[in-house]
Amino acid sequence: MIFIKNHKEQSLFDPWDFLGSKRRRLLDDSWAGLFRDYILPILPVNKIAPYFNNGFGRPTKELHTVLGIMILQQAQDLTDEETISQLAFNIQWHYALNIPEESDAIKYICPKTLFNMKKIIIENNLDNILFDKTTGVLAKVFNVDCSKQRIDSVHIKSNMKKLGRIGIFNQSICKFLTNLKRHHKEDFDSLPEEIIEKYLPPKKKKGCFSQVKPSESEKTLKIVSSDLYYLVERFKDRENICSMLSYKVLGRVLNEQCVPPELGEDSKKISIKPPKDIPSSSLQNPSDPDAAYSGHKGQGYQVQVMETFCDDEDENVRKKTLNLITCIETEPACNSDADALLPAIKSVKKRDLLPEKIVADTLYGGDKNVTEAKKEGVQLIAPTPGASEKTSVLLADFEFSENGQVCRCPNNQEPEFVKQNKNGNHSAAFNSSVCANCPFVAECPIKKGKKYNYLRYSNKSVRVSKRRAEEKTEEFKDNYRWRAGVEATMSEYDSRTGVKQLRVRGHRNIRYCAKLKAIGVNIFRATAVRKARKKGKSLFTNLLFSYFRLYFYFKDQIRTDWDDFKFLSHNYTDDYKFYIRKAA
C-alpha cells in the first residue's frame, strides 16, 4: 500500500513546540529548515508511486521521506548504515523530513528497502526529475538570475581497481569462467583443466598472474590473449552463452587489445596491439565496463557542471546571490569537453534557465560551439583553441562586407576581384605592384602569385581571427575573469559530497550520485544565502525597534529635560541612519 503524507498542510498545533525557541530557530536557519520548507513538498512522489500497489500489501515508507533520504545520503556522503543511523537519531534529519512522530515505522528504514528504492530511482531515471524539480524551485524562491552562467568538467572515479593490460585479460576471463560454471556447468566441465586451474585456482592458492615480473609481461600477455581468443572462438556459436554479459566483455577486450590470427592459423599467433593503437574508450576494468580513460586525468568518468554566477564587484551583493548549479551531465572520461556545451544549453533551455552568456575555458571555445550557441541566443565567452596567426597583420585587420568578401586591406587598398569556390573558401586578388610598396608587406598574410598577390581565407578563419583580436580587449578580460570561480565550485562539490571518489560502479549509478550530490550543494548554498539575507533584514528591524523604544521611553518621562532628549535622539538617529546604509 502507498503511504504519502501531504507536507503542504498546516497542523492545528505545531508538533515542533517541544524544541524551544532557540533550538527551533537554529533548525529554521540551517539546511534542515530550507529543505523542509522548499524541497520536501515538491519531491516527485507521483513518479515513484506507480511502482507500488495502492490497495494491497504492507504500507510503504512515506514516499516524501524516502526521496528526501536519498538526497540527504548523497549530499552528506553517507554509507547505507550511516544513513539508517541518521534517520533514526538525528533531529536535523527529522526536522528536514518533517517527521516529529516517534516510531520505528517512521524513523527506521532497513537496508533492503533503501536498496530497492535506490534501484527504482536509478532504473527509471528519476534522479533527473529530482534534480530538475529542486533546481527549478530554488531558482524561483531565490530569484536566481540565469543570464550569466559558466561551465567546466570534473573527473571522478568509480569504485574499481586500476588494472594493467594483464589484469584486464585475467579479470575478464575469471569473470566469464565463474559465470559459465554457475549457469552452464556442463560447458564449464568440458574446458581443459589447464585453463580452469590457471584462472580459477583454489582459495588457498594464489593465481599465476598475481605477481608477474616486468621482464615476463610480454610473454604473459601472449599467453592470456591466446586463452581469451580460445574461449571466444569455442563458444561463438552458442547463443545462450553469447548473450552473457561476461562473454560480451571477452569479445570487447579481444577487439580492443588484440589482432586475431587469420582464418585457419594457430590461435597462439594472435598479436597484441601497441598501446598507442588502443582507443581511450577501451575497457578499463571488467567490473565497470562503462568507465573510460583520459590521458590527462586517468580512468573513470567526468561530470559537466554548469552554474549561475554574480559578477557584481561588491562582495556583500555576491554573498546574497545564489550561485545555482543548473546542469549536471555525466559521461565517460574519454569524451571531449567540446562536445558537452550544446547538450548543456539544450538541457537548461527545456527548464527555462537559458543564459545570455556562458563563460568557459578553451576546450569549449571552438568555432562550431560559438556558432551553434549564437543560434540559441547564447554568447559564448571562451578563448579560441588552436595556434594563433603567425603574422603580425591579422585577418581581422582587413575590412569585410556582409557576405564575407574582403573590401580593403589594412593599407586601405581594394582587391582587384574576389572569388569563392564550392567549399565556401574565398580568394582575393591584390595588385602586385601596390603590395610591393606596402609598409606591411613583410608581415601581411597576402601571398605572392603569378599575376596577382592573393589572400586566401575561409569564413571560419575570419571569425576565428576576429575572436582572437577581441580576446586582447579589456572588455573580454573583464568578462572572462569570472570563469575562475567555477574551480571553487568543483572544490566545494568534492569536499562537501565526496563526488571525486564514489562507492558505486556503472554509468547509471555514477549519474545518480552526481545529480543528487549537486542537489545537496545547491541546498547548502541556498542556506548560506538565506542566512546572509536574513542578517541584513534583522539588523534593520532591530535598529528600527530600538530607536522607537528609546523615543517613547524618553517621551513618557514627565520630568525629562527635553533638550537632553533632543540631543540623545538626534545622535541615535544619526547612528541609526549609518547602520541602515551599511545594511543596505
CB 294 within 8 A of CB 334: yes
pLDDT band, residue 50 (cuts 50/70/90) = confident
Please determine, for residue 207, whether its predicted confidence score (pLDDT) is greater than 60: no
Q: How much of the chain, in percent, has pLDDT values that exceed 70? A: 89
pLDDT of 559 reads: 45
Q: Are residues 169 and 271 in the same domain?
A: yes
- Rounded CA gap, 331 and 223, in Å? 34
- Of 199, 157, 160, 158, the C-alpha closest to 178 is 199
pLDDT of 246 reads: 93
pLDDT band, residue 65 (cuts 50/70/90) = very high
pLDDT of 202 reads: 72
Q: Which of 277, 292, 311 is the last residue of a domain?
A: 277
Please determine, for residue 338, whether its predicted confidence score (pLDDT) is greater than 70: yes
Please determine, for residue 391, whether its predicted confidence score (pLDDT) is greater than 90: no
- For residues 474-494, give the mean pLDDT: 94
pLDDT of 572 reads: 45
Is 381 a member of any domain? no
pLDDT of 103 reads: 87
Q: Which residues lie closer than 8 Å to 408 by C-beta, 6 or more apart?
A: 398, 399, 414
- For residues 78-82, give the mean pLDDT: 95
Is 209 a member of any domain? yes
Cα angle, residue 438 at apex, residues 432 and 441 outer, rounded to 5°:
80
How many domains is the chain partitioned into structurally? 4
Q: What is the pLDDT of residues 119-151, one digit of tens each?
A: 999 999 999 999 999 999 999 999 999 999 999
- For residues 152-180, give the mean pLDDT: 91
pLDDT of 81 reads: 95
Is 544 a member of any domain? yes
Is 380 a member of any domain? no
Is 48 a member of any domain? yes
Q: Are residues 117 and 170 in the same domain?
A: no
- Rounded CA gap, 210 and 346, in Å? 48
pLDDT of 208 reads: 58
pLDDT of 562 reads: 45
Coil, helix or strand at residue 164: coil
Q: DSSP secondary structure string, 186-201?
A: HHHHTS-HHHHHHHS-
Higher-confidence residue of 319 and 582: namely 319
Is 181 a member of any domain? yes
Is 269 a member of any domain? yes
pLDDT of 425 reads: 87
pLDDT of 437 reads: 85
pLDDT band, residue 163 (cuts 50/70/90) = confident
Please determine, for residue 337, whether its predicted confidence score (pLDDT) is greater than 50: yes
Q: What is the mean pLDDT of the chain?
A: 86
Residue 452, number of CB atoms within 10 A of its CB:
18
pLDDT of 547 reads: 57
pLDDT of 111 reads: 93
Q: Which of 454, 472, 490 is the last residue of a domain?
A: 472
Domain residue limits at 406: 395-472
pLDDT of 458 reads: 87
pLDDT of 327 reads: 96
Cell of 313: 564587484
Q: What is the pLDDT of residues 532-579, one digit of tens each?
A: 998 866 555 555 556 555 555 555 554 444 445 444 444 444 544 444
Is 12 a member of any domain? no
Q: Which residues lie closer than 8 Å to 369 by C-beta, 6 or more apart?
A: 338, 341, 342, 380, 382
Cell of 320: 546574497
Q: Are residues 28 and 114 in the same domain?
A: yes
